[in-house]
Every structure is written in C-alpha cells, then in structure tokens.
Amino acid sequence: MPGHIPHLLVSLHLLVLVAMAAVWDRIVPRPYMDEIFHVPQAQRYCQGDFWTWDPKLTTPPGLYIISNILLAIQRPLCSTYLLRLTNLVYPIVTLYLVTELLKEIHPRLTRQERFYSAAVIITFPILYFFNFMYYTDGGSAAFVLASWLAAKRGYHLLAALASAVALTFRQTNIIWALFILGTALLDLSSKDERRHFDPKAAFIRSPLQLVHALTGFVRMLLAKFSAALTMAMPYLGLLAGFAAFIKWNGGIVL
C-alpha cells in the first residue's frame, strides 16, 4: 500500500472493523437473512465438496472460492464467524482502490483529500453494513473498482479479468463491465475532442445535445477504429463469454 495513505488510520479502521465484527457475531451468531444460503454453501467448499449446489442460490460461487483461499489454513473449519471475517479484507482493499481511482479521475486533489474522500465513500452506510455479513456486496464492489482502476491505467486485459471475477460474485456486474469499457473508449479521445461529445450532465438542455454527443463519440471511434478495437478486445471476450453463459444457463440467474 502506498506510503501516502496514513497507515495509522488504516490500522485503526481495521481494528474498528474487527471489533464491530466481534460485536455483530455476539449478537447474531447464527447465519442471518441470506447468510442461511451463503454460509452452508461456503462450508461445503471448505470440506472439499465442490459439486453440491443449493438451488436457492442465484449468484455464482466467487464469494465461496475466495473465502476458501483466505481460510486455507483453517480448512475444513469454516465457522460463520470466520467466513464473515474474510469479508473484512474488502473494505481495506476498497479504501486503497478508491484512493488510487481518485488520483486518476481528480488529479488535482491532494493526497490527503483523496484519502479522506475515499474514507467517506467506503463508509457509505448501505455498503458498510454488509462488511459484517457473509454477503457478496464487499467483494463485488472491490473487484469492480479494481477493474476500473486497471482500465484507467491502461491495463485492459487485467481490467477484463477483474471484471470476470466480479461477475463470479454478481452477474449484474456485467453492467459495470460495459461502463468500464465505455469510459476506456472515451479515454482514447483528447480533451479537445471530448468537449464535443462528452458534455457534463448538468449542461445538457435538450435531447438534441445527447444525439450530438453520441454521434460525435461514434465518429471518434470510427476515426480511431484500430486502436479502439485493440483496446476493447479483452472486454469483448468477456461479453462473449457472458453471452455464452446466459445461453447455456437459460437466463442471467443461476
């Protein structure tokens, strides 16, 4: 983790997460809400049973696979508490990812501003609550952010791979993969070109402006077709794989 992130605050945050997880486990020691499906499935994986699948589960097994990797030393002992603890990795990783993303998106921010902005984002209550449950939210968000950061830095194969992992947490992350592809294509243009087809939403006054923006974007892609196609290939492979999955599965839900 880069030295400019205050290590003391990160350590304090980790201590708070562990303490809150312990309190949560004391109050709610048994699987709660959708954990009644996730925990038993993860425990089957811990015991080496990778073939029994609960038909009530609607998301792929990414959550369980990564938990098993993190708990490799503990296998086959994967208690509800230990499984919940594996999810505490994600808010720490997400803090780093958001801090680095802000460097790419808002380069004028100081290091301290990026860190504190990231801290505000990762403590968003709706997301932060699920850090203490064995849910897919934390891992899903972390891998989507990892994909976007890789794309912003030009590592498009890595971005597509991170999006593929995100899809093993939630199939609906295909929307974020499309968003990341779109932003990567936008980044092919110069700042001067972008003024003509990437207006701020606040400045859009009519549908005609949207049409003008879209046609300008398409013209830019056609002018840079070879570069755009080369850059998009990893994402197109991901989309093709996802389309094949939907056809094989008969729908997006398992």
What is the model's pLDDT at position 140? Answer: 95
Could you tell me the residue range of the domain that residue 216 belongs to?
191-223
Euclidean distance between CA atoms 113 and 119, whole angstroms: 10
What is the model's pLDDT at position 193? Answer: 67
| Number of structural domains found in the chain | 2
The answer to whether residue 34 sits within a structural domain is yes
Euclidean distance between CA atoms 178 and 68, whole angstroms: 29
What is the model's pLDDT at position 184? Answer: 93
| 132 and 28 housed in the same domain | yes
Q: What angle do CA 189, 234, 190 make, to 5 degrees?
A: 5
| 34 and 135 housed in the same domain | yes
| 104 and 198 housed in the same domain | no
| 121 and 154 housed in the same domain | yes
| 207 and 144 housed in the same domain | no
The answer to whether residue 99 sits within a structural domain is yes
Indicate the residue type of 29: P
What is the model's pLDDT at position 1? Answer: 47
Q: Tens-of-pLDDT digits for all 254 residues of the chain?
A: 455 557 777 888 889 899 999 999 999 999 999 999 999 999 999 988 899 998 899 999 999 999 999 988 777 778 999 999 999 999 999 999 999 999 999 989 888 889 889 989 888 888 888 899 999 999 999 999 999 999 999 999 999 999 999 999 999 999 999 999 999 998 887 766 666 666 565 566 777 777 877 887 888 888 889 999 999 999 999 999 999 999 998 888 87
Place of tokens 């912003």: 152
The answer to whether residue 97 sits within a structural domain is yes
The answer to whether residue 239 sits within a structural domain is no
pTM above 0.85, yes or no: yes
